[in-house]
Amino acid sequence: MAQDKVGTIIIGAGVVGLAVAKELSSCFRAGQVVLMDRHESFGLETSSRNSEVIHAGIYYPAGTLKASLCVEGKHLLYHFCKKWQVPHHRCGKLITANTPEEINSLDNLKAQANANGVDDLEELSSSQLARLEPHVSARTALLSPSTGVIDSHALMKTLEQVALQAGVLPAYCHRVMAIDKLDAGGYRVHFHNPDGSKDALDCEILVNSAGLQAVIVAALTGIDPERCGYRVHLCKGEYFSLPPAKGKLIDHLIYPPPLEELTGLGIHATKTLDGRLRLGPNAVYISEEDYSVDESYRAEFYRSAVQFLPFITEADLEPEMAGIRPKLSGPGEPFRDFVINEESDRGLPGLVNLIGIESPGLTASLAIARRVAQLI
């Protein structure tokens, strides 16, 4: 690259990295923030392979980053979408329950939501639910009116445009290979250029927002991921789509109660902005990146979804896509929060690590960016 030193290098151009770039562009003069990614464009991993849901902030333990940043980020995101005309729809979500255990879990969810500052949930009886969604089957449900869906690609494109207009320098197809801590302060990032040649760039502030690769990037700075609790597990989520005619039968997002330890939110039904209806994701831990959809899960998806969508048949389900979440909690392990940490305590001032940024990372992206700006 042409210059020798910049104010900030952000590694990773997913939705969070883009949001950080936009936020930090107001802290540095033009040309002093570099957004670096190994791919040819932004958001080609977790950010583009998810349910595209704007979450309300219901599920996460009070006081955690996931809870507070989701609630803050939801408001910021709706404001940003309105200001920049990013396609979105505040369609609302129904969390359904059929068994006594599920009904009890809804009571717990409402209490958790209240603790998180989400006070707009409404309990629906079966008759109220039938009037709202006549094709959905459940004994009761919670209505979350502030849940919505968003065009995640349009969001990321807008974030990129705003950042670039403010002077952020994009560096796509740049693969980070090594990171040195400089004696005079700051960091030297070694990378391969798009043509394969080697280069390096110094920076005062380094933000690691590399998503699935964030632990690898952290290790390049000398951090021991195991000792710091930064190890992540790849958790794959697959989706099946339903015929367009079936999508016309519901208006809200339809969810079951969440899975234990928040491994996932259960196989739910979401509608895209163009009206497509899809089911997913499941939660399967994997050892390496793999975006194929295992069709053998079709029956499992059907059995789960037919409990609240009785109008579907197993033959309706068609494989659509898969995404991968970088989860800090492994199989059977308890809930883990986001890691958003400035590493001065580890002798690495000016390094901010964002580790385990999974759901609700999309919703929280703008709030995470604000937190990073506060840290530096």
What pLDDT tens digit does each residue of the chain (376 aa) get? 445 899 999 999 999 999 999 999 999 988 999 999 999 999 999 999 999 999 999 999 999 999 999 999 999 999 999 999 999 999 999 999 998 989 999 999 999 999 999 999 999 999 999 999 999 999 999 999 999 999 999 999 999 999 999 999 999 999 999 999 999 999 999 999 999 999 999 999 999 999 999 999 999 999 999 999 999 999 999 999 999 999 999 999 999 987 665 555 679 999 999 999 999 999 999 999 999 999 999 999 999 999 999 999 999 999 999 999 999 999 999 999 999 999 999 999 999 999 999 999 999 999 999 999 999 9
CA 141 – CA 143 distance, rounded (Å): 6
Backbone angles phi, psi at 170, to 5 degrees: -80, 140
Q: Is residue 54 part of a domain?
A: no
Give 123's DSSP letter.
E
**Can you give the CATH number for the domain in which 107 is found?**
3.30.9.10
User: Which residues form the domain of 120?
Assistant: 93-145+233-327
Query: Considering Cα of 281, then 62, then 156, then 86, what sign does the dihedral take?
Result: positive
CB neighbour list of residue 166: distance below 8 Å, 6 or more residues apart: 22, 25, 26, 30
My answer on whether 315 and 246 are in the same domain is yes
Three-state SS string over 256-297 comes to CCCCHHHCCCCCEEEECCCCCEEEECCCEEECCCCCCCCHHH
My answer on whether 26 and 173 are in the same domain is yes
**Residue 264's pLDDT is what?**
58
CA 289 – CA 212 distance, rounded (Å): 9
Number of domains within the chain: 2
My answer on whether 218 and 259 are in the same domain is no
**Can you give the CATH number for the domain in which 38 is found?**
3.50.50.60
My answer on whether 238 and 137 are in the same domain is yes
Q: Is residue 119 part of a domain?
A: yes
Contact 163, 8 (CB under 8 A): no
Helices (H) and strands (E) in the chain, counts: 10, 20
Contact 52, 272 (CB under 8 A): yes
My answer on whether 240 and 317 are in the same domain is yes
**Residue 259's pLDDT is what?**
60
Contact 243, 216 (CB under 8 A): no
Strand segments, DSSP code E, in 41-115 are 53-54, 88-89, 93-97
**Residue 1's pLDDT is what?**
47
My answer on whether 194 and 274 are in the same domain is no
Q: Are strands 93-97 and 253-255 parallel, antiparallel or unpaired?
A: parallel
My answer on whether 111 and 243 are in the same domain is yes
Q: Is residue 127 part of a domain?
A: yes
My answer on whether 160 and 135 are in the same domain is no
Under DSSP, is residue 319 helix (H, G, I), strand (E, B) or coil? Answer: strand
Under DSSP, is residue 301 helix (H, G, I), strand (E, B) or coil? Answer: helix
**Residue 258's pLDDT is what?**
77
Torsion angle of alpha carbons 143, 144, 149, 152, nearest 10°?
Answer: -150
Q: Is residue 58 part of a domain?
A: no
My answer on whether 183 and 256 are in the same domain is no
**Residue 4's pLDDT is what?**
81
My answer on whether 316 and 186 are in the same domain is no
Q: Is residue 213 part of a domain?
A: yes
My answer on whether 129 and 193 are in the same domain is no
**Residue 112's pLDDT is what?**
95
**Residue 110's pLDDT is what?**
95
- Show the CA angle centred on residue 207, arms to residues 288 and 362, nearest 5°: 65
**Residue 2's pLDDT is what?**
45
My answer on whether 252 and 362 are in the same domain is no
Q: Is residue 68 part of a domain?
A: no
Q: Is residue 262 part of a domain?
A: yes
Q: Is residue 247 part of a domain?
A: yes
